[in-house]
Structure 1
């Protein structure tokens, strides 16, 4: 499996994937598809995407909410070429939208589509609302109100997943319609929204809100406006503290890293600010702020070096994050001390600067805390695109900056975890050995560096995320095996973890790893078995190749030894060579505990029920007589979904809330109005899975297996 940039062909362009995923997230629960019941899945999906595209166009053009945009979708039978209708807040403007979806980003808009859209406009202008479908008729009053305004503006909107180039003939048809329907104060125009417009709208939704801050310089400041506007002067540390109090970590969105917490350097800053505020300036390098605009306000006398309050639009602290954060912490401890502390602040407006200039400033100014190669990865354009791809394609987080908290496992990963996973997935085992010897080597640049071999051609979000998932599976399996191994075998499992992951990656078929096909992730089910078989062959291979007295740690940092180990171990696994079972390396086992966990814990620990499995309520004879009729009136009352929660593993279909098995039984009795219900009940006895039995029976089978089988 190679992850050095050679990716399989992609049927759907990445931009289209981003737009499709965003449309599904935004409109799946809002747009009705009832008229497509019973149709083929691909037909239903294409129809939904076309409708969602028209709704997204409405949001772009009118700045309405998602619910309002969805309510304006009228696509279907008797829509007369109009897929959605949008209205301005004033009620004097209306957008008639026809949308064209294409999985390949090649949608067009021809003369027939133009004539159809104009026909729809004519019918609306004639007030032939009863000719339209029910969805348009719900909007009839608003349409009528727009047409009643003499100065109304009507826009014919072409919304296509493609380049959006209209032929000369199509342009002529739309212009002639504008001339025919316009006049006497009424305006009719046409506009085109293409794939680039929709992708930009998706990206804009993810963009952080701009931050405005103020910097007050009372004396001794300087400014220059050539080639770019900039100010340099002293700002009170109290004002810096308010920056962080108001905006916290958002201040550093363009910095190479977040605040690193109370490191030794930062603690020194806090102490210095409190104990010697007047001397702080002499020992400090200053900070740098980038912004789009600088608005000066002279609050005393206007002129050079006169007191000025600068409002910085869309500002970001690109150097000095530790200083600003430390000022805030010092202010929390002693607000008065900071009144005498000043910091040199350099402010640069980069709105008119050439591309790359802002990045150069960030790299050049970050010298106060020790910089690591990893820190500059945070402003690498490739990583920025990967992070965007994660958000748009997977709706997950991809954390870049050192000091920034990694997301929960199900919600994303850090660039470090991604890099290590990609290194293990690479066909060259030397990468795993180098990272074992020096974890920071993953960031090495240059012709022989690991970093360009992993990210040189920007692997996509699917490829990275699935590599991370597989790597986690290997790590988790080794974590389960490790406590049962002793001595040299345990050391090999620890030190060889990355190389084991590398070998497991070689066994997993890489076809489709970078495509949206969910079938690929079924390959993860084989990882546990692959880890066991690889570890069984690896442990004796170390001794056979290098002797039972060789240093284990050194072995797994040697590129030469790792290459030999991989070749020997993979061959042994593929040939099914004899090797001691892993239990051969187990610690002498203590007697197993006879204490038994509760039913839910047993099932969860053994992963005995798959997430999302439907369970059925099984009332006893007395219950059935008392509440049977109530249960029968709504089948959902007897259904719950299994979720992975130790205290409340059941999600009732009726209200979507979580309950314990016993708690849900009691809740059902209460909802049914069963006043004579018993005071106690064993809930797991009353919930079961067809052909598998009740929760108690499932737990009993797991317990019996635990006492008759070896784990490995």
Structure 2
């Protein structure tokens, strides 16, 4: 790699440059820069490495995962890297800038490009992105389908990170326009200081030392391993997280590093955590009685006494290489509460169990972490089990309908024809309610179903006990709407598909309004006629809804935020129902289908990988293939593969069923079949249930079978003169 550019490069930038090249030079693809000037090649590589490093910092992923998310290049639409949270509910869209002198900036043009990329994601318009993004498309769709997904717009700069007011306004407006009711967009800047701090932590991770003063009740246990259990004031926990003052090391805040040995980090300000914050502030003295406490692990405990050396006397503990292994949410909540009212938090106490690993056998600490994080917790839904209304509904179902109705969490849902759960019933009743805001709230999170009190969904749905027949018929309609939308959704792409995804509950709400509550009391014969007409109602409503979103809010509006807004949804409901009732909508089934076909995706779905490659003879017979195991596979079966080099080698045969000839035994397999066979032969007992063979066999220098198929399909879709072939 070219070492030029060191002259005039600040020392901190030199450190970052060396670390980025060391970590990503052989991980990030630079095939599109092979013929470019060496300096241009290095600048592009460093820019991509900056985006990958930002992904590592924010998404807590490894180097290979970060590099796999780099999509920078042609058709990236302002997004250089995509990263995902381990839970699959959070997405980072990163744009990066590199400057040798550490002066990279981010102007309004760059911000508009990033927002443009966000809009394409929101509209599910991913087909025009490059092939690197196509490999991630399924994961992107999976995140965006979640009602509580979070999207982070990230500006990663080799500079001081300062943005102009105009640039910040653009990003602020994008965040406000997209977000709402569980779905959020935020933007953040990762600058030169963040990168330098990250590479220092990578090279020299510093152990955390904590100090805890127990001035009330506590006791200690010395065998078989030292442990101290006692009460610690909540403001001390807050200082562990955020620090206080400018003094000694023990007062320095450690943030999320406190939870390095925990199974998860803090979850932010969730509903449960907000309850803890409120509890500390409203009744600090009673907090100890309402909370289970936290567990801290450390390598060593050093104990000092303030006066008398005895159990129960005030003492201060110094915890070397400490980590909170259970109670991350509690510590973070203490920090948040302390920001609001330090005096109140100082009055709250928490039971803290501190365990020293000094002299403990290997694996002991991990077993503690696992055990303390597998305990049951209460959810809001659990409390409805003690509501007498639910027991009465259950009896009504059995007596009136001879069907099952389950409402306790943990009970198995009945078969669809045999009954329903309280969750399905509540969803159906929320959609049937004349107030569309209930359907909007439920879309944000099903937790909204169980809120009691004035205006709470649970009270509005079950406050006056609904009859079993009303609930069951509402569930029947809800199921038909859901199934019909699923069928119609397969025919849609892009913005119409996004409307169908995000507006599903609103469609159900409008179908219920079209049917009318009175029909729920019809005789069985007449009710069957009502059910038979529901699919046609769904089609009519969906067609009008797709059109009305653009009519009311323009084609540039964010689909997600539109359906997260109670006000906008109310406007849509009024407009669609008025159109259908006034006869200005698609009045005939044929016209409805014709309008729907206008929203149907114009291009074919890509055929299955092997079929496409064989039918177009994209790979010549006898072309060498090599096995490309993941890091986890390599660790598990790498020794077995290396014992016979032929186990990693194969060749291609143009056959739809068994196109891979394995060199190790001379037999032919499907890509997935061969990977599964290798795992079994290697006796990998912890192998995954899911096998993705086409992604695990590659042609040297050309990529995996999936990557080759994606490139081929893009050429076919572009109509570059390839002959037509039968892909059916």
Report the TM-score when normalising by structure 1: 0.32
User: In terms of Rg, which structure is larger?
Assistant: 1
